[in-house]
Amino acid sequence: MRTNLVKILLRFCAPLPLPLLHGFGVLIGWGLALFPNRARRDTATNICLCLPDLSETRQHRLARNSLIEAGKTLAETSALWFRPGHKALRLIRDIKGAELVDNALQQGKGVILATPHLGAWEAAGLYGAATYSMTCLYRPLRITEIEDLVRNARNRLGANHVPTTVPGIRRLYKTLWQGGTVAMLPDQEPLADAGIFAPFFGIPAWTMVLLARLSLRTGAPVIFAWCERLAWGRGYHLHFRAAPGDLYSGNTETAVIAMNRTIERLVRECPAQYQWSYRRFRTRPAGEGAFYGDKHQSVVMQRLP
C-alpha cells in the first residue's frame, strides 16, 4: 500500500512546473527547520563541526537553508524520475566543463565521475546516464519495496547501477578497462573494511578508498561533477571539475586526502546545497566518542531557537 501511494504521488507531481515543485520543497524544508527531527539535529551538528568559524547566527541560517534545499531535493525527485527523459534533461540549463570528460574518454582508459551529495545529484546522474551510459555504484535502499522503482527511474536513460558487492566492483573495473564511464558518491561512508580515516573539514572521516584504487589500477582520470540548483525553480547548472594532481600520486592515503579536500572546495562554493543531514562522521577512530549521540547533540541544539 505504501509503495503504491508513493508511486501515485510521484507520478502526479512529475508534470508540475519545477518552480511549483521547489515551492513545495521550501515548505517541507521550513517544516524540517522549525520542528525537532533527526535531519535538523544532524544538520546542526555537522555544520557546527565543519564550519566552526561561522558565527552562531550564520550557522543557524546555513542549517535552515540547507534543510530548505533538502526539501527541494525531495520535491524535485518526481520530475527527475518520472518525466520523459528528454523533458527531464531540459531542466539542465547550462553545462560547464563537459570537455574535460570528452577529452578524458578519448584517452581510452575510461573516466570516473565523482558526484558528492551536493546540489541535484539525481539530475547529474540523468545527464551522465544519457550522455555516457555510465555504470554507477550504489547501496541498495533500506526500503526494499521501492528499490525497483528507484533503480528503473535512474536506469531509464542508459545507466547501469551495480551494488556495493564484489561482483559490482568487478563490473566497475571491467567498464573502465573497456574505456567506459563509472560514477560514485565519493562522500558516502564505506563499509567497515573499505575505507580509511582522512580529514574532511579537518575532522577524521571514514572515507572510501575504492575511487582512488580504481584510478590507480586502471589509469582512469577522475572528474568531479555536481549539479547546482538554481533559485526560483529555474533549473540546474551542471559543473565538471578536474581532479587535483595529488589524486594520481600512486599513494592511496594521499589520493583519498586529495579527494576529500576537493569535495570541501566544492561544498564551500555552494554550502547550502550540501546534504549536511548525512551522518558523515558516524564512524569514529578508536577512543573517540560519537558525534550524533543525544548528549553531544543536546549541546549543539542549544544554538537553535
Q: What is the pLDDT of residues 159-168, one digit of tens each?
A: 888 888 899 9
Mean pLDDT for 262-272 is: 97
pLDDT at 9: 80
Query: Where does the pLDDT of residue 30 fall: very low under 50, low under 70, confident under 90, or very high at 90 and above?
Result: very high
- Confidence check: pLDDT of 260 > 80: yes
Query: Where does the pLDDT of residue 60 fall: very low under 50, low under 70, confident under 90, or very high at 90 and above?
Result: very high
**In the chain, % of residues over pLDDT 70:** 93
Mean pLDDT for 175-202 is: 94
Cell for 98?
563537459
Specify the range with the lowest mean pLDDT, choosing from 3-17, 45-59, 179-193, 209-223: 3-17
User: DSSP H helical segments within the chain, as ranges?
Assistant: 2-13, 18-34, 38-50, 56-82, 85-89, 98-105, 121-132, 147-155, 166-177, 210-218, 252-269, 294-300
pLDDT at 191: 87
**In the chain, % of residues over pLDDT 90:** 77
- Confidence check: pLDDT of 151 > 90: no
- Confidence check: pLDDT of 147 > 90: no
Around Cβ 96, how many Cβ atoms within 10 Å?
A: 12
Higher pLDDT, 79 or 142: 79
Global pTM value: 0.91
Helix axes 2-13, 147-155, angle to 10 degrees: 30
Query: Where does the pLDDT of residue 157 fall: very low under 50, low under 70, confident under 90, or very high at 90 and above?
Result: confident
Query: Where does the pLDDT of residue 43 fall: very low under 50, low under 70, confident under 90, or very high at 90 and above?
Result: very high
Higher pLDDT, 293 or 203: 203
Under 8 Å between Cβ of 137 and 247:
no
Q: Three-state SS for 226?
A: strand
Query: Where does the pLDDT of residue 182 fall: very low under 50, low under 70, confident under 90, or very high at 90 and above?
Result: very high
pLDDT at 296: 47
Separation CA 299–CA 157 (nearest Å) = 46
Separation CA 160–CA 64 (nearest Å) = 35
Tell how strand 135-138 and strand 160-163 pair up: parallel
User: DSSP H helical segments within 133-282, as ranges?
Assistant: 147-155, 166-177, 210-218, 252-269
**263 closest CA partner among 191, 194, 184:** 184
